[in-house]
């Protein structure tokens, strides 16, 4: 019985059917299912499938955005129940696009995927200066900071930000993950970032790896 409704929740999320998902989440709660099971096995389960399909080019940006929107709708219903049950986010991640760069579509996808995987995500926007990344990480006690760059001319700002975290004495407490179309693993290694993800779904795997979570 509970398996069936969790399966339906996953399906509704993958298809991006927000109103149906809200109804199913409410029904599952009314049936006495634990909020954490609904989140993990229903919603995050469905989002992981979308992430895996996105990596294999079986679905594209619009499908991911629609699924993420449904996830947010489901979360509206689930939030109170999760907090009543004392369920906490896995960790906090601050994500932004680096200084000089206004591209935010990829960054937004990364935020949505991380949220879908159970992280508390603080989106610090675009054109983010090193000081703002550092201040956000401190304010939100983030374990991980994600930086996105889409222009070859703004990749240098990533190095400045990584150096800034070192100079601020935060390198041991805060891991840094970088990504964006012109960014590569070798560039990430060169600037001393802790991790690199080629796409939004991989960003979840990299975040889990860097923070020792699953």
Where does this chain touch ligand B1M (CB under 6 A) — which range of 19-27, 42-50, 129-137, 149-157?
Answer: 149-157
Asked if residue 152 binds ligand B1M (CB under 6 A), the reply is: yes
Q: Which is nearer to ligand B1M, 12 or 110 (CB)?
A: 110
Contact with ligand B1M (CB under 6 A): which of 61, 131, 185, 189? 61
- Residue 203 in the binding site for ligand B1M (CB under 6 A): yes
Determine whether 104 is exposed, middle or buried from the number of CB atoms within 10 Å of its CB (0-12, 13-18, 19+).
middle
> What span, in angstroms and rounded, lies between the C-alpha atoms of 73 and 12?
11
Asked if 124 interacts with ligand B1M (CB under 6 A), we say no
Per-residue buried b or exposed e for 185-212, using 16+ beta carbons within 10 Å of the residue's own CB:
eebbeebebbbbbebbbbbbbbbbebbe
Instruction: Please report, as residue ranges, which positions from 179 to 198 form the binding site for ligand B1M (by CB under 6 A).
Output: 179-182, 197
Residue 72 has phi, psi (to 5 degrees) of -60, -40
Among 10, 92, 148, 208, binds ligand B1M (CB under 6 A): 148
Q: Report the residue number, 43 or 196, with the smaller CB distance to ligand B1M.
A: 196
**Measured distance CA(33)–CA(44) in Å, rounded:** 15
What are φ and ψ of residue 127, in 5° steps?
A: 55, 45
Q: Which residues bind ligand B1M (CB under 6 A)?
A: 61, 95, 100-107, 109-110, 146-148, 150-153, 177-182, 197, 199-200, 203
């Amino acid at each position: 019985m509970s398996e069936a409704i969790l399966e339906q929740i996953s399906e509704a999320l993958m298809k991006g059917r927000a109103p149906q998902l809200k109804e199913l989440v409410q029904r599952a709660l009314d049936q006495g299912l634990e909020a954490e099971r609904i989140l993990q096995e229903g919603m995050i389960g469905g989002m992981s499938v979308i992430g895996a399909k996105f990596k294999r080019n079986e679905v594209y940006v619009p499908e991911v955005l629609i699924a993420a929107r449904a996830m947010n709708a489901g979360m509206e219903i689930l939030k109170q129940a999760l907090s009543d049950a004392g369920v906490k986010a896995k960790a906090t991640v601050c994500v932004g696009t680096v200084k000089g760069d206004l591209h935010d579509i990829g960054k937004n996808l990364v935020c949505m995927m991380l949220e879908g995987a159970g992280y508390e995500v603080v989106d610090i926007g675009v054109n983010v200066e090193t000081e703002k990344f550092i201040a956000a990480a401190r304010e939100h006690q983030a374990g991980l900071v994600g930086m996105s760059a889409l222009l070859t001319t703004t990749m240098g700002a990533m190095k400045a930000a990584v150096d800034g975290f070192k100079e601020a004495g935060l390198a041991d407490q805060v891991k840094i993950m970088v990504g964006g179309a012109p960014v590569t693993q070798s560039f990430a290694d060169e600037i001393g970032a802790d991790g690199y993800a080629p796409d939004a779904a991989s960003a979840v795997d990299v975040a889990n790896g860097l923070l020792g979570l699953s």
